[in-house]
């Protein structure tokens, strides 16, 4: 039994006239008559008394009519409630981000998103890459702006799309001997004390270091670890060591440090969007499209 059968029967039962019911439903009279007969065959009893010129409800038909109306009302209400939920926009959109890599693009994304969806408030969460991925997986975050981890397994069950890529550079203090140069061999950088991110919070950072120094005999010596790039750059500025990162360092920290390119140049770092696979909420989808749009400008 389908809802269509019930709707056809209700129309006939209310009109007690096959022709008027057919006009009301915008179907042909023979097709309507067949659908009602199919319904009767399925339930095993007659709903209508038919004559050459009219139809009338049987007693069973009158009882069935009341219940059929109730079923259709409940079905309509279910659709309305589900549609309201589907169309409702969350009051907040939770977005995780890695501050330094997205420092330049994030304000542009936010401005574009607020123009498109002014009633949705974006809550930003300054978390480590791994914490962002965990937050996306467990639903605390709807979207993440991340540095793509070197290991593909880190993005299992997630949707990822690159926005842009950054050249791998080294940051030194303005007083460092390297600061007078525009580029520096990786082999020379390996001899310098390195300021890095905390290993437990940023394991992918050390994966990148391993890849960068894979062809150099001397491996980097990490002398300090900090839980943010701001902490790292403060130590670099103070002359405690050098640091690896993207060329966005120059945008984020200006003249506080000198950013040098490396030779040979390592593979660029991918910066992009992460979310659960499947359909995004309307707000998350709009944020995703705004991010892609700003990345092309």
For residue range 116-145, what is the model confidence (pLDDT) as tens digits? Answer: 988 889 999 999 999 999 999 999 999 999
CB 236 within 8 A of CB 225: no
- Where do the DSSP E strands lie in 177-268? 183-185, 193-197, 221-226, 243-246, 258-263
pLDDT digits (tens, 9 = 90+) for 171-214: 999 999 999 999 999 999 999 999 999 998 888 888 888 888 88
How many domains in the chain? 3
d(CA 87, CA 79): 12
CB 184 within 8 A of CB 260: yes
pLDDT digits (tens, 9 = 90+) for 213-249: 888 888 889 999 998 888 998 999 999 999 988 887 7
Regarding whether 263 and 175 lie in a shared domain, the answer is yes
Crossing angle of the two packed helices 106-116 and 282-295, in degrees rounded to 10:
130
Higher per-residue pLDDT: 84 or 270: 270
The C-alpha torsion from 145 through 147 and 153 to 157, rounded to 10°, is 10
Q: What are the phi and psi torsion angles at 127 (to 5°)?
A: -125, 165
Regarding whether 83 and 51 lie in a shared domain, the answer is yes
Structure tokens at 72: 């259709």
Regarding whether 76 and 54 lie in a shared domain, the answer is yes
CATH at residue 34: 1.10.10.10
Domain boundary among 31, 57, 87: 87
d(CA 205, CA 217): 20
Regarding whether 176 and 291 lie in a shared domain, the answer is no
The count of C-alpha atoms lying within 13 angstroms of the C-alpha of 256, restricted to the half-sphere facing its C-beta, is 16
Domain boundary among 55, 87, 119: 87
Regarding whether 229 and 209 lie in a shared domain, the answer is yes
Higher per-residue pLDDT: 91 or 88: 91
Regarding whether 159 and 108 lie in a shared domain, the answer is yes
d(CA 250, CA 77): 57
HEC string of 79-115 equals HHHHHHHHHCCCCEEEEEECCCCCCCCHHHHHHHHHH
Regarding whether 222 and 143 lie in a shared domain, the answer is no
Regarding whether 118 and 35 lie in a shared domain, the answer is no
CATH at residue 161: 3.40.190.10
Domain boundary among 59, 87, 115: 87
Range of the domain at 202: 168-267
Regarding whether 260 and 219 lie in a shared domain, the answer is yes
Q: Which residues pair with 242 in a beta bridge?
A: 194
CB 21 within 8 A of CB 11: yes
Regarding whether 284 and 151 lie in a shared domain, the answer is yes
Question: Given CA atoms 231, 236, 237, 239 in this order, what sign does their dihedral have?
Answer: positive
Regarding whether 159 and 286 lie in a shared domain, the answer is yes
- Cα 176–chain centre separation: 42
Regarding whether 118 and 253 lie in a shared domain, the answer is no
The yes-or-no verdict on residue 278 having pLDDT over 70 is: yes
Task: Return the percentage of the chain with pLDDT > 70, whole number.
Answer: 97
């Amino acid at each position: 039994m389908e809802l269509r059968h019930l709707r056809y029967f209700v129309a006939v039962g209310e009109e007690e006239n096959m022709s008027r019911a057919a006009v009301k439903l915008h179907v042909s009279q023979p097709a309507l008559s067949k659908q009602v007969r199919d319904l009767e065959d399925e339930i095993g009893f007659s709903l209508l008394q038919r004559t050459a010129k009219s139809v009338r409800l049987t007693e069973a038909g009158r009882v069935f009519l009341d219940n059929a109306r109730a079923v259709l009302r409940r079905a309509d209400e279910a659709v309305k409630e589900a549609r309201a939920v589907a169309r409702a926009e969350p009051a907040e959109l939770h977005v995780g981000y890695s501050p330094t890599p997205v420092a330049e693009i994030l304000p542009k994304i936010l401005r574009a998103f607020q123009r498109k969806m002014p009633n949705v408030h974006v809550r930003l969460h300054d978390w480590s890459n791994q914490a962002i991925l965990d937050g996306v997986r467990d639903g605390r975050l709807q979207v993440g702006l991340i540095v793509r981890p070197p290991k593909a397994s880190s993005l299992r069950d997630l949707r990822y799309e690159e926005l842009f890529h950054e050249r791998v550079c080294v940051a030194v203090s303005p007083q460092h001997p390297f600061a007078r140069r525009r580029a520096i061999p990786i082999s020379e950088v390996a001899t310098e004390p390195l300021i890095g991110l905390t290993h437990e919070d940023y394991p992918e950072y050390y994966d990148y270091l391993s890849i960068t120094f894979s062809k150099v005999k001397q491996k980097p010596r990490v002398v300090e670890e900090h839980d943010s790039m701001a902490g790292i750059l403060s130590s670099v500025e103070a002359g405690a060591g050098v640091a690896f990162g993207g060329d966005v360092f120059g945008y984020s920290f200006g003249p506080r440090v000198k950013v040098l390119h490396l030779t040979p140049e390592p593979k660029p770092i991918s910066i992009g969007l992460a979310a659960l696979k499947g359909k995004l909420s309307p707000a998350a989808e709009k944020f995703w499209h705004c991010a892609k749009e700003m990345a092309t400008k």
